[in-house]
Every structure is written in structure tokens, then in C-alpha cells.
């Protein structure tokens, strides 16, 4: 026997939320964006022209790793809550990295944080 469970009332999610759709933008990991932001300015001022990207890849938000089709859209984005949150996040301590994941999985050096009683 198969088929749908007759008791299932909740409809299948439709992935209409923006967070769910973000996958298609191929967002880099936070640690990658963070690394990008740490680079010296002369390494990141020139955006390569890419015809496949919106606006030829010339309107880019480094913090969110997103491209925009024109400067107006980019400006709009800079005003969004999401973007501001993102900047705050990138200004703070380093985001979760692969190293953290390895450590959490029991690989690599154990790090118990800085000693609180360093006298």
C-alpha cells in the first residue's frame, strides 16, 4: 500500500519565502564574504564584467554577495534591513568557518576560548 497519509492536513510548502529562494543566487558562505571584506581595497575595486550577471556584474553588494541590475536597485538594497544586518554581522567577530565545523565535529585542535583567569 502507498499513497498519501490521509491524516496529513498541512499542504506542502511552496518555497515562496525569500530565504528559500536565495539558494539560486549561490550565496557564498559567510566566512568567504568575510575574507573578501578583509582584502585590501586595491584588490576589490574592479568588478569583472560578466554578461551572465544582472547589470553585467557591475552593481555588487560585497556584504551580501549579490548582484543588481542597476545602481537604483543597488541603492535600494543598501537601505534594506537585510543588508544592514549583514554589515553588522560582518563587522563583528569572524563568522562560522569550516574550521569551526571541524572543531565541532571533534577534528582539529580543541579550542576552549581565551582563558578568563589569566593572572
15: Cβ–Cβ under 8 A, 6 or more apart, which residues?
21
- Which of 65, 100 has the CB closer to Zn ion? 65
Is residue 30 part of the contact set for Zn ion (CB under 5 A)? Answer: no
Is residue 64 part of the contact set for Zn ion (CB under 5 A)? Answer: yes
SS3 category, 9:
coil
Is residue 90 part of the contact set for Zn ion (CB under 5 A)? Answer: no
- Which of 85, 96 has the CB closer to Zn ion? 85
Torsions phi, psi for 66 (to 5 deg): -135, 150
4-12, 57-65, 90-98, 104-112 -> range binding Zn ion (CB under 5 A): 57-65
How far, in Å, are 19, 52, 66 from residue 24 at the CA level? Answer: 10, 14, 11
Is residue 95 part of the contact set for Zn ion (CB under 5 A)? Answer: no
CB of 105 to Zn ion, least distance (A): 31
Question: Are 31 and 94 spatial neighbours (Cβ–Cβ below 8 Å)?
Answer: yes
Binding site for Zn ion (CB under 5 A): 61, 63-64, 83
Amino acid at each position: 500500500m502507498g499513497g498519501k497519509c490521509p491524516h496529513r492536513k498541512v499542504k506542502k510548502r511552496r518555497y515562496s519565502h525569500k530565504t528559500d529562494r536565495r539558494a539560486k543566487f549561490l550565496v557564498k558562505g559567510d566566512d568567504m564574504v568575510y575574507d573578501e571584506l578583509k582584502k585590501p581595497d586595491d584588490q576589490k575595486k574592479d568588478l569583472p564584467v560578466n554578461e551572465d550577471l544582472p547589470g553585467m556584474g557591475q552593481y555588487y553588494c560585497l556584504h551580501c554577495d549579490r548582484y543588481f541590475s542597476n545602481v537604483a536597485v543597488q541603492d535600494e538594497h543598501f537601505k534594506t534591513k537585510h543588508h544592514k544586518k549583514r554589515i553588522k554581522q560582518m563587522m563583528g567577530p569572524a563568522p562560522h568557518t569550516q574550521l569551526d565545523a571541524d572543531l565541532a565535529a571533534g577534528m582539529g585542535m580543541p579550542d576552549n576560548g581565551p582563558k578568563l583567569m589569566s593572572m
